Amino acid sequence: MRIVLLYGGDSAEHDISVLTAASILKHLDYKKHQVQPVFIDREGQWIAGELLEEYSLSEDSILYLEASDQQHFYRQGEAEISQGLAVVPTDVLTKDSLAFPALHGPNGEDGTIQGLFEALNVPYTGAGVLASAAGMDKIISKQLFQQAQIPQVPFVALTSYQYETERSEVIARIEGQLVYPVFIKPANMGSSVGITQAQDRDALLQGLETAFHYDTRVVVEQGIEAREIEVAVLGNEEVQVSQPGEIVKDQGFYDYEEKYINNSIEMAIPADLPEESAQAIQAYAKKAYLAIDGSGLTRCDFFVTHNMDIYINEVNTMPGFTQFSMYPSLWAASGLSYEDLLEKLLKLALERFNKKQGLANQ
């Protein structure tokens, strides 16, 4: 099978996508597959490397593609690896391919590129258009969780237009429904990009300005003292849920820099939870997955208070996917290796595609 691995992208999560792709490239089974790496630069240009029939890069290699005049090159540090070519999507997304979007953030996991795959009738890993869009949008997903009766912390949703035209009313609504501290989040970003914590009104105003830099829609959530528990979900109609893991914190809030630059996150797998609480989290995760019409994979994140109250935080339909990230680590602890997890995702992609083709031909 020819796998088209798409990575990079024009979102603020570009660098995380590169790390994810480097790990996937290293662990795919080249006895079964050929791999076509396609780098999407920050301007949206697609650049295809040479077709890989074996993994020939050094152990610590991270793939970047850099442009120099009209030439494009893979680079490992300063050493040129191989030449790449600028392409359009239809050059690489052909009938004999399977797309693996290792893309995070807008234009990667929000249903946009999934719509392209659907239009080209190409199988692809991960969530479909609806689940990607709903899972990415924190406001829409919260509304779906409300309908599914999954507990979540109080929140206020607002648009940039509301903030610009009704600022005093918006602030009054936030302070009337929530108490400090609060968290301010862009509706359509992940990996803690654009998220801030506010302990007072001045910090709230600054946090809103930051969040609106990334999106025209923002959600403000009630801050609570809680542990951060995550579970991995895998499957199409038949859904599997991993044991819970915990983000072990030595400070109140980890922003993008702490997570991905300083690498100060520690994980405890399995999380130290009563069996009843662990099972409740797994049940809520499955419920959330079905609520967004999930397929392929999703990571579901929860808050658990000292009283064992459980609140869903968000879902991520394309979570961080290096071999050390929480999602594959949860499955590794549950007995599914990184390599086998990749194969499972490819099989799920073909299973969903073939089923849809069968329905279309009835």
Question: Is 275 annotated as belonging to a binding site?
Answer: no
Respond yes or no: is residue 23 known to be catalytic: no
DSSP 157: E
Which residue among the candidates 191, 242, 329, 334 is catalytic per the annotation? 191
Was 224 annotated as part of a binding site? yes
Residue 82's H or E segment, with its range, is strand 79-87
Burial of residue 295 (CB within 10 Å: 0-12, 13-18, 19+) is buried
Q: Consult the annotation and say whether 236 binds a ligand.
A: no
- Among the options 11, 13, 230, 246, which is catalytic? 13
249 is in an annotated binding site: no
| Residue 29 to residue 1: CA distance in whole angstroms | 10
Residue type, 38: V
Q: How far is Cα of residue 243 from the mean position of the Cα atoms in its chain?
A: 19
Could you tell me if 307 and 251 are in contact, meaning their C-beta atoms sit under 8 angstroms apart?
no
Sign of the C-alpha dihedral computed for residues 330, 304, 177 and 259 taken in this order: negative
Task: Confirm or deny that 8 is annotated as ligand binding.
Answer: no
Say if residue 56 carries a ligand binding annotation.
no
**Which is catalytic among the residues 23, 242, 325, 329?**
325
* Side-chain-side CA neighbours of residue 287 (13 Å): 18
Q: Indicate if 13 belongs to the active site.
A: yes
Question: Is residue 69 annotated as involved in ligand binding?
Answer: no
Is position 314 annotated in a ligand binding site? yes
Confirm whether 325 is a catalytic residue. yes
Instruction: Give me the torsion for CA of 221, 222, 228, 234, rounded to 10°.
Output: -40
Q: Is 264 annotated as a binding residue?
A: no
Q: Tell me: is residue 257 an annotated ligand-binding position.
A: no
DSSP H helices, 266-337, are 275-291, 326-333
* Residue 316 labelled as part of a binding site: yes
Binding residues for ATP: 138, 183-185, 191-192, 221-228, 313-314
Binding residues: 138, 183-185, 191-192, 221-228, 301, 313-314, 316
Binding residues for Mg(2+): 301, 314, 316
Catalytic residue IDs: 13, 191, 325
